[in-house]
Structure 1
Amino acid sequence: MIRLFQIDAFTDTQFKGNPAAVCPLDNWLDTEVMQQIAAENNLAETAFFVQKGEYFEIRWFTPTVEVDLCGHATLASAYVLFNELGYEADTIRFYSERSGDLGVSRQNDWLTLDFPADVVAQVNITAAFADALGVAPTAIYEGKSDFMIVVESEQDIKNLEPDMSKVAQLGNRGVIVTAKGNEVDFVSRFFAPQSGIDEDPVTGSAHTTLAPYWAGVFGKSELTAKQLSQRGGDLKCQVVQDRVLISGKACKYMEGSISI
Structure 2
Amino acid sequence: MRLQIFTVDAFTDQAFSGNPAAVVPLLEPLEEQTLQKLASELNLSETAYVSPIGDDIEPWVTSSQFNLRWFTPTNEVPLCGHATLATAHTLFSSLGNKSSRIEFKTKSGLLVARKDGSNIILDFPANPPEPLTAEQRTDLDVLVKGVVNDLLVDTVLLSHTTKKLLVKLHSSCTRKDLESLKPDTALLLSLHNGSLVKGVIVTLSGGLQGEVSEDCFVESQNYHCLSRYFAPWNGIPEDPVTGSAHTVLGPFWSKLLGMTRLKCRQCSPRGGDLIVSVREDGRVDLAGKATTVIQGNISI
Query: What's the CA shift for 1:121?
Result: 1.4
Q: How many correspondences in the alignment?
A: 259
The farther-off stretch of 169-178 and 206-215 is 169-178
Matched, 1:118 2:119: no
Q: Which residue of 2 aligns with 1:224?
A: 263
In 2, Cα distance between equivalents of 1:225 and 1:119: 16
Q: Secondary structure at the match of 2:153?
A: coil
In 1, Cα distance between equivalents of 2:40 and 2:119: 30
Alignment of 1:103-252 (within 5 A): 103-123=112-132, 124=137, 126-134=141-149, 135-143=151-159, 144-145=161-162, 146-152=164-170, 153=173, 154-168=175-189, 169-170=191-192, 171=194, 172-182=197-207, 183-241=222-280, 242-252=282-292
Higher Cα Rg: structure 1 or 2? 2
Query: What's the CA shift for 1:251?
Result: 0.5
After TM superposition, the score normalised by the length of structure 1 is 0.96
Q: Which residue of 2 aligns with 1:62?
A: 72
Percent sequence identity is 41
After TM superposition, the score normalised by the length of structure 2 is 0.83
In 1, Cα distance between equivalents of 2:146 and 2:80: 28
* CA displacement 1:120-160 (0-9 Å, x = unmatched): 21113724311343133211111122111111233331121
Paired residues of 1:187 and 1:226 also in contact (CA < 8 A):
yes
Q: Which residue of 1 aligns with 2:214?
A: none
Query: What's the CA shift for 1:109?
Result: 1.1
Query: RMSD across aligned C-alpha pairs, in angstroms?
Result: 1.3
Q: Secondary structure at the match of 1:39?
A: helix
* CA displacement 1:144-194 (0-9 Å, x = unmatched): 221111112333311212122232333222111111014200000000111
Paired residues of 2:147 and 2:181 also in contact (CA < 8 A):
no
Which one-letter code corresponds to 2:178 in the other structure?
I
In 1, Cα distance between equivalents of 2:279 and 2:29: 33
Paired residues of 1:72 and 1:203 also in contact (CA < 8 A):
yes
In 1, Cα distance between equivalents of 2:248 and 2:17: 23
In 2, Cα distance between equivalents of 1:90 and 1:128: 43
The structure with more helix, counted as a fraction of residues: 2
Q: Secondary structure at the match of 1:128?
A: helix
Query: What's the CA shift for 1:85?
Result: 1.1
